[in-house]
Structure 1
Amino acid sequence: MSITITTTGPGRAEITWTEGDDPRGYLARAVESDQLAYALEALGNGEPGPADADAALSAAMHTASLARLLERRAAVQVVRLRDDHGLSWRQIASALYDDPEKQSSVRRMYDSGRRHLGV
């Protein structure tokens, strides 16, 4: 992976990437729009979140937006795992859900990924 996260101290990290690592600009937008910051905040402290209703709504909006993007990207990865690497539904389900029986969930992700790819 060419994107690096370097721990720079307790509670501190630096993320680096090049334009080639982010051809669609997803990383840059996630950082510049505060999506990443809000998502990391939700991971870190979860509740209670911002006290002000507008700030809480903004935090939820940014976190949900990044989550949707990650769902789409994960679906595309499932297409690559199946089509490019020839992995079985069971193998993918085991890796993603720690349950090889969740093949139908993986197939739904696959179908979603193909739609996102325009296939």
Structure 2
Amino acid sequence: MSVTVTKTSGRSAEIIWTPADDPHGYLARAVESDQLAYALEALGNGNESDEDEDQALTAAMHTTALARLLERRAAVQVVRLRDNHGMSWRRIAGVLYDDPEKQSTVRRMYDSGRRHMGI
């Protein structure tokens, strides 16, 4: 994937991708729907004190929707690590969770990823 994130100045960045990088439109939808903006704001701790109730709910909705999508995409990546690269459960768990003993967690991700892929 050739998505690039370039730091342009102190606290600015530019994200560039091509249509080939986003065949399902996930990136475009995350940007156009403000999911990415709300998620990045949440990472930076946002301006909770400046939000009214509706703004807070909207921020939580967008952040949660993007988090769920990322969980599904991460599960698909686990399927690829296992099936395409032949990695062991232990190695994947060690890298993803910094704990090789979390093999059962990785297996659950794998099963979820296969469901999302329709396998």
Q: Tell me the TM-score range normalised by the shorter chain.
A: over 0.9
CA shift digits 1:6-26 (9 cap, x unpaired): 111111000000000000000
1:5-84 superposed matches below 5 A: 5-46=5-46, 48=48, 50-84=50-84
1:49·1:56 contact (CA, 8 Å) conserved in 2? no
Count of matched residue positions in the alignment of Structure 1 and Structure 2 = 119
Structure 1 vs Structure 2 CA RMSD: 1.2
The range that moved more, 15-24 or 39-48, is: 39-48
Distance (Å, rounded) in 2 between the aligned partners of 1:47 and 1:21? 32
Q: 1:49 to 1:92 in 2, by over 3 A?
A: farther
Letter in 1 for 2:64: A
- Unaligned segments of structure 2, at least 5 residues: none
- Unaligned segments of structure 1, at least 5 residues: none
Structure 1 residue 45: deviation in Å? 1.5
Counterpart secondary structure, 2:14: strand
CA shift digits 1:42-100 (9 cap, x unpaired): 00125736520000000000000000000000000000000000000000000100000
Distance (Å, rounded) in 1 between the aligned partners of 2:98 and 2:33? 33
Identity of aligned residues (%): 76
Distance (Å, rounded) in 2 between the aligned partners of 1:96 and 1:10? 30
TM-score calculated relative to the size of structure 2: 0.96
Q: 1:107 to 1:46 in 2, by over 3 A?
A: farther
Distance (Å, rounded) in 1 between the aligned partners of 2:36 and 2:50? 16
TM-score calculated relative to the size of structure 1: 0.96
